[in-house]
Amino acid sequence: MKPTFYVTTPIYYVNGAPHVGHAYTTIAADVMARWKRLDGYDVFFLTGTDEHGQKVEKAAADAGMPPQLFVDGISAQFQAMTARMGSSNDAFIRTTEERHKVTCSALWERVAEAGDIYLGGYEGWYAIRDEAFYGADELVDSPGGKLAPTGAPVEWVTEPSYFFRLAAWQERLLAFYEANPDFLAPSSTRNEVLSFVRGGLTDLSISRTSFTWGIPVPGDPAHVMYVWFDALTNYITALGYPAKDADLWRFWPADLHLVGKEIARFHMVFWPAFLMSAGIAPPRRVFANGWLTIEGEKMSKSVGNVIDPMALADELGLDAVRFYLMREVPFGNDGNYSRRALIGRMNTELANDLGNLAQRSLSLLAKNCDGKLPPVGPTTEDDAALRAMAAALPDALRARLDRQAIGDGIEEVWKVIRAGNSYIDKQAPWALRKTDIDRMGSVLRVLADVLRVAATVLQPVMPDSMAAMLDQLGVPPDRRLLADLATALPDGTVLPAPQGVFPRHVEATA
Ligand code: MSP
């Protein structure tokens, strides 16, 4: 039986259209899902939309629409974005689905039975934009009033509320982090979360009574569940909880929740506490990605610099966008999106480095080897060195991607591609054609084999272009897993006519 791997994105709020920041996490999760499938895992990849709460209710009211109609429209936009980004998600969950209400109610009841829920009253600060409660000591003064540390405006809230006994979970959470050192990542986020929990926890308000757009609390429908209790539960709804005999339950605990760093606390503190209270195993790892700025500025509607990832993919090609986003910023760090840098990487790394190496090798094979894969010839030191670098790629990527160091993994492949370019220049197969036709064949065979490895391991990042490259290298579609690299392609494999995979992009001048 294959080992399982369950990876998720955050479920996105449907208060506005999707932008490149959402696409960023979705693409990263997709790369992880595709990588694990390539490595022989049985993968479940979940994404979706977070549709309840005050923020979404307010956005619907501002649009003059009934909330359900409003969320249906925006969720559809997120589904379209997900598909256009090439996401291979196995399911798309919406928190307004009936099955989610069932799961949330079941989780609530289990936590209540464990004695971790009590009725009280909340009096304090709330930021609708963050859907988060803040202590007075966390706020900063500004000319317009008090602000949350995220810059979100806060309002004073006084209402009856159910509470989760989070304070009582402090020691158990710390023991859990201690016993599971991979749970909190990367280390910057880990340190923040540890110091937050060590600083002492207060009980968490988990219901609201001042609005109605949410899931009713079991037995007390005057309350709706706090939107984060509702939202986090999506990860188990999708697997069929509470029906533990559900087929998909075998994917729990999740192997990887990918989240933006601003929502690390919810996933790293509240979520494992809710789960442990209900007797459910916590996820294995939560990894927080950094924030993307746009040409050096925070992305915002008022600045007018919001990037639509679908328009970008239409214009420059999906794989170039995916490659750029995964390559440019070390995953986990903050980073910047710049159009110039994207086009720079398209032209240098994709068109020049990889595209040219493939095009040069494949067109020589087409012209001089009858479009067939030549046999492996006597191996020189240079051949062996390049082959060894390529053979080390699966392990090198595994080591990096298991830590979500996606950009580092890509760099390992580029080391081989750069070495491949030096090799072809040095061996000069175009000259060997006249002097030593057998050696020319051997050189081209080394290049074809090395390109096959590079294209195989790059499939998770650039699925369409690497599929095209593997087609041209004569690799059958059912022989494209990492495990298949152990078996050489038969000599004489017919290679289809080569076609450039990566176009260069020239900016139109105004
Ligand atoms: N609905 C909550 C998540 C609930 S998960 C149980 C939420 N939604 S959100 O729509 O605000 O999406 C936030 C996520 O989108 C971030 O955590 C991050 O993954 C991604 N990003 C949104 N803007 C981003 C950037 N500018 N840069 C990088 N990622 C960004 O929070």
Give 135-179 pLDDT, tens digit per residue.
999 999 999 899 999 999 999 999 999 999 999 999 999 999 999
Query: Is 306 a pocket residue for ligand 1 (Cβ < 6 Å)?
Result: no
> For the chain, what is the total number of helices (H) and then of strands (E)?
20, 17
How far apart are the CA of 24 and the centre of ligand 1, in A?
9
Ligand 1 lined by 13 (C-beta under 6 Å): yes
- Please give the radius of gyration of the chain, using alpha carbons only, rounded to the nearest integer: 26
**Distance (Å) from CA 479 to ligand 1 centroid:** 36
Which of 19, 32, 50 is the pocket-test mutation for ligand 1 (most atoms within 8 Å of CB)?
50
With both helix axes pointing from N to C terminus, report the angle between 406-427 and 356-368 in degrees, rounded to the nearest 10: 40
Q: How far is the CA of 289 from the centre of ligand 1 (A)?
A: 10
Angle in degrees, CA 457, 458, 459, rounded to 5? 95
Cis peptide preceding 309, ω within 30 of 0: no
CA–CA dist 184, 186 (Å, integer) = 7
**Which amino acid is residue 186, in one-letter code?**
P
Query: What are 371's two structure tokens?
Result: 């479009």
**Helix (H) / strand (E) containing 184:** strand 184-185
Q: Which residue type does 105 have?
A: S
Tokens of 486: 């152990």
Considering only CA atoms, which residue is closest to atom 17 of ligand 1?
260
Residue 510: pLDDT band (50, 70, 90) is low
Q: How far apart are the first and last CA of the chain?
A: 58
Crossing angle of helices 437-458 and 381-391, in 10° steps, is: 10
pLDDT value at position 378? 97
Tokens 């440019």 belong to residue: 328
* Sole residue written with tokens 């081209």: 444
Q: What is the pLDDT of residue 508?
A: 85
Whose alpha carbon is nearest atom 20 of ligand 1? 22
| Torsion of the alpha carbons at 220, 223, 228 and 230, rounded to the nearest 10 | 50
Q: Find the 445 Cα to ligand 1 centroid distance in Å.
A: 46
- Please tell me if the CB atom of residue 407 comes closer than 6 angstroms to any atom of ligand 1: no
Nearest-angstrom CA–CA distance, 279 and 418: 51
* Mean pLDDT score, 66-95: 98
- The strand ranges marked E within 245-369 are 256-260, 286-289, 292-294, 335-337
Mean predicted confidence (pLDDT) in 97-101: 98
Categorize the per-residue pLDDT at 394 as very low, low, confident or very high, splitting at 50, 70 and 90: very high
For 208-244, how does the pLDDT look when each residue is reduced to its tens digit (9 = 90+)? Answer: 999 999 999 999 999 999 999 999 999 999 999 999 7
Q: How far is the CA of 74 from the centre of ligand 1 (A)?
A: 15
| Position 486 pLDDT exceeds 90 | yes
Sign of CA dihedral 190, 192, 197, 203: negative
The encoded tokens of residue 209 equal: 């009574």
Residue with tokens 């050189």: 443
* Shortest-distance atom of ligand 1 to CA 298: 26
Dihedral over Cα of 348, 428, 494, 419: its sign: negative
CB atoms inside a 10 Å sphere around CB 194: 16
420 touches ligand 1 (CB under 6 Å): no
- Name the residue with tokens 């593997």: 470
Residue-wise pLDDT for 181-196, tens only, equals 999 999 999 999 999 9
Rounded to whole angstroms, the Cα distance separating 425 from 419 reads: 10
Q: Which long-range contacts (CB under 8 A, 24 or more apart) does 479-487 make?
A: 480/38, 480/456, 481/38, 481/39, 481/40, 481/456, 482/38, 482/39, 482/40, 482/394, 482/456, 482/457, 483/40, 484/456, 485/391, 485/394, 485/452, 485/453, 485/456
Q: What are the strands of the beta sheet with 220-225, ordered from one edge?
A: 207-208, 220-225, 216-217
Q: For ligand 1, say whether the CB of 292 is within 6 Å of any of its atoms.
A: yes
SS3 state at 49: strand
Give me the residues paired with residue 8 across strands.
46, 257
Query: For residue range 464-484, what is the model confidence (pLDDT) as tens digits?
Result: 999 999 999 999 999 999 999
Specify the pLDDT at position 27: 98
Atom of ligand 1 nearest to the CA of 13: 10
C-alpha to C-alpha distance for 177 and 187, rounded to whole angstroms? 13
Q: How do residues 275-315 score in pLDDT, each as one tens digit?
A: 999 999 999 999 999 999 999 999 988 888 999 999 999 99
Give me the chain's average pLDDT, please. Answer: 97
Residue 263 CA: which ligand 1 atom is closest? 17
With a 6 Å cutoff on the Cβ, whether 299 touches ligand 1 is yes
Atom of ligand 1 nearest to the CA of 293: 26
22 CB near ligand 1 (under 6 Å) = yes
227 C-beta closer than 6 A to ligand 1: no
The length of the chain, given as a count of residues: 510
| Ligand 1 centroid – CA 160 distance (Å) | 29
